[in-house]
Amino acid sequence: MGAGKRGVLTAAVTVVCAVTVLAVPGTAFAAPTPPPGPGPGAQASVTVVTSDEELEAVRKKLDALYRAAAKATDAYNAAEEKARQQTAQVVRLAKKIVEGREKLADLKTRAGAAAAAQYRGGGLPPEAHLVLSDDPQEFLDGAGRARQGQHAAKGLIGEMTRTQADLEEYAEDAREQMRKLEAGRKAKAAAQKRIEKQIKAAEKLEADLEQEEKERLARLERQAAARAQATWLSSGVLDELTSKATARGRKAVAYATAQIGKPYQWGAEGPNTFDCSGLTSQAWLAAGKTIPRTSQMQWQQLKRVDVKDMRPGDLVIYWADASHVGMYVGDGTIVHAPRPGRTVTLAGAGSMPILGVVRPDPGTE
């Protein structure tokens, strides 16, 4: 890499540092310090090689950026899922409002018919009917029917009042759901901007590298993952892993591994592209089990199990903010959709910091 190229890379790393600090509270990395420049009399054409230490700093920046993008993707997916639920609720409320209006119209018709009948009867009090009637029994029968009519009229009025109150409640609920939909739309748009910002910064940082540097960077990524996996395995975590997959677990694993090689795309649920939780949620849906859409909701809502008890099909949640998820397939391996620019692949289950393990199908063997 020439001196001019080095200046571009160093500047890009510095800019990315600032973006990363803004995107991930409490996380910061120092920009790599370039080695001393050529001494007096050195020729300008001398190529300065970027050290592995500098590339390691770049790798950490990229990790931080893509993790920030993953966290924003979870926020986007959560907003999308809430929007679906709220839309369905608005539809249900609209149906109730239509049904309520039809019921109220029917009640008004019945009330009008009762009032008309009373009008045709002259609206005379019972005492007047007694005076005008030659038959006391006829009066008593009429008085009974009058009391029944009064009760019926009161019942109609009460039902009309309750129906009107229900309609007002449905309408207010619908308005509230629409307000939530609008707030969710804004949250989703903000998350989308954060995702695009992080990914663009990461892509720019990678684009400023020479091809040879990109290859060394990829090697450093593999080495870092291998070291983490080796550390995880050396803890003896696999010694007690004897649990076997359930029938549904096998179906979920089969679906997830069949997607190997397909590109990562944030917010995607297949069939051609996936993000991390899109892959796991669709795999379990294919197995006949609906689970939450995002890695954070999967961590919050699914049953947690000890790592030593995990079995194929269980989901391994990563990082303290639960911003990544993979599916355990056995032998210390997961299948996952890593990040933008990568494809669905197999990786060591311990190649990233594990937050915990959750089970979509507890209680089944």
C-alpha dist (Å) from residue 119 to 3, 116, 160: 102, 5, 21
* Residue 187 near residue 75, CB atoms below 8 Å: yes
Q: Which residues contact 135 (CB under 8 A, 6 or more apart)?
A: none
Angle at 35 between CA 32 and CA 40, to 5 degrees: 150
> Phi and psi (nearest 5°) for 274?
-145, 150
Query: Cα 90 to chain center, whole Å?
Result: 20
The CA distance from 333 to 339, in Å, is: 17
Structural Rg of the chain based on CA atoms: 34
243-247 long-range Cβ contacts below 8 angstroms, 24+ apart: 243/309, 243/310, 243/311, 244/311, 244/312, 245/311, 245/312, 245/313, 245/330, 246/311, 246/313, 246/361, 246/364, 246/365, 247/364
Which residues belong to the active site? 276, 324, 336
